[in-house]
Chain A
Amino acid sequence: MILGYLGSVQLRQFGAEVYVANLVALGMVREMGALMTAVIMAGRTGAAFAAQLGTMQANEEIDAITTLGISPMEYLVVPRMLALIVVMPLLCMLANALGLIGGALVASGMDVSFMQFVNQARSAVSPGDIATGLVKSVIFGLLIGTAGCQAGLQSGRSSAAVGQATTRAVVNAIVYLVIADAALNILYDKLGI
């Protein structure tokens, strides 16, 4: 909606309001859908992973798992990473859809009809554009899981340490996301995707 609003205001000056659909559609499927989903998931799930694993560390549950001969990596980390890898593209698609609907609603208030928006968006976005966003979301999922699980497993054994681990998980995840996003955009550009 923000992209749609800002885009409409600028494009109207050139009589090109209809291209707000291109801006919103490409912006969402290539960039914002994956990135915004990832930021939300870093704050929600990355922090939750760190808090869960940190609390398990403080309660000696991870010691218990280890001495049962079970690898904490296999038992605690891998399922969480797999869950994020599966869920992130789905959430990214949902975010894309909601973003496009929001953009269409804003555009409809600026003399671009809903159907005009849809047709323009369809012509602007290729399956490759959608794939680039989904690939990003999978990589972002891995990074959020890594930051959350790493902070949780390295947490100290006190409640204060669990809080610090949770903060570290979110900060690290967002830094990883920004760096990875920039790197992927450069890579896509080099590959001509």
Chain B
Amino acid sequence: MTNSASDPAAATASSDVHIDVRDVTLQHGDRVIQRDLNFAIKRGDIFVIMGGSGCGKSTLLKHMIGLYEPAAGEILIDGQNFFGAEPDVQLQMRRHWGITYQLGGLFSDMTLAENVALPLQQYTALERDEIRDLAAYKLALVGLAGFEDFHPAAISGGMQKRAALARAIALDPELLFFDEPSAGLDPLSSQRLDELILEIRESMGATVVIVTHELASIFAIANNAVFLDAETKTQLDYGPPRELLHNSEHEIVRRFLARGEIA
């Protein structure tokens, strides 16, 4: 499973590869967090980056979205290396991404509507009224109609996650990144968020990359997943979660996906 699926040459040969991670090493200063990462994410996939706490899942995501540059290797999005691109190309790449952060990343001094309006102001020439209407529509899509004038601190954690999702989909992105979307949510809110992600993927056809270790979410929505290991500091396996659960050659991957209930 690991060998065929993670072969970068085979991955790039396919035209429907959206993100191609090639021989990537992640470092903080001199400390290696992950190395030799090789996997591809197909267009339209819901792809999960999973692994134990502290293995570097969120760090990998932050490298994918261009916040940090890999110490080695490259991450190609639509065949383009973000860090090798000109600033205007980088801006155009970002125009097609929607991102939600583990802590929400909502601007605390803005209302929800203003948060959602910001990417529209940045990337479109829409009139003020149109932006306001579109922001209200996006908030309604995630079940936050009527909360346009609320500030993030005045709503619950689950609502903040949904508001962040509304901002992420403001520009109808081709690529959606979620960092721990279910963190801190009760099971029902978490399930509702999973359903929202599925609905948005269906309606927009976007590729979705999710960092999570919530097993319910992984099995409910993911087509493919990569498992990062904190001990060996590299990916152990890569493929559909149910296949990994039953067939992974790595015991830790099977135990992780079975919540430690199998040997």
Binding site for B on A (CB under 8 A): 55-56, 58-61, 63-70
Contacts and interface: CB of A to CB of B under 8 A. Distances in A.
20 contacts: A55-B108, A59-B104, A59-B105, A59-B108, A60-B101, A60-B102, A60-B104, A60-B105, A61-B106, A61-B107, A61-B108, A63-B101, A63-B105, A64-B105, A64-B106, A65-B107, A67-B65, A67-B66, A67-B97, A68-B119
Q: Which label, helix, strand, loop or mixed, suits the secondary structure of the B interface? A: mixed
Contact of B94 (A55, A60, A63, A67): A67
B156 interface: no
A43 B153 CA distance: 26
Nearest to B177: A67
A61 B104 CA distance: 8
Chain A interface main SS type = helix
Contacts of B90: 69
B107 A64 contact: yes
A69 B97 CA distance: 10
A153 to B, nearest CB: 14
A61 B90 CA distance: 19
Contacts of A65: 107
Interface in B15-66: 62, 65-66
10 closest A-B pairs by CB: A64-B105, A60-B101, A60-B105, A69-B94, A69-B91, A60-B103, A59-B103, A67-B99, A67-B65, A68-B119
Contacts of B104: 59-60
Interface of B: 62, 65-67, 90-91, 94-95, 97, 99, 101-108, 118-119, 122-123
Contacts of A70: 118, 122
B112 to A, nearest CB: 14
Contacts of A60: 101-105
Contacts of A66: 67
Given A59-B108, A69-B122, A64 B95 contact: no
A64 B104 CA distance: 9
A69 B95 contact: yes
A69 B123 contact: yes
Nearest to B87: A69
A137 B67 CA distance: 36
A113 to B, nearest CB: 51
Nearest to B67: A63
A68 B104 CA distance: 14
A123 B65 CA distance: 64
B97 to A, nearest CB: 7
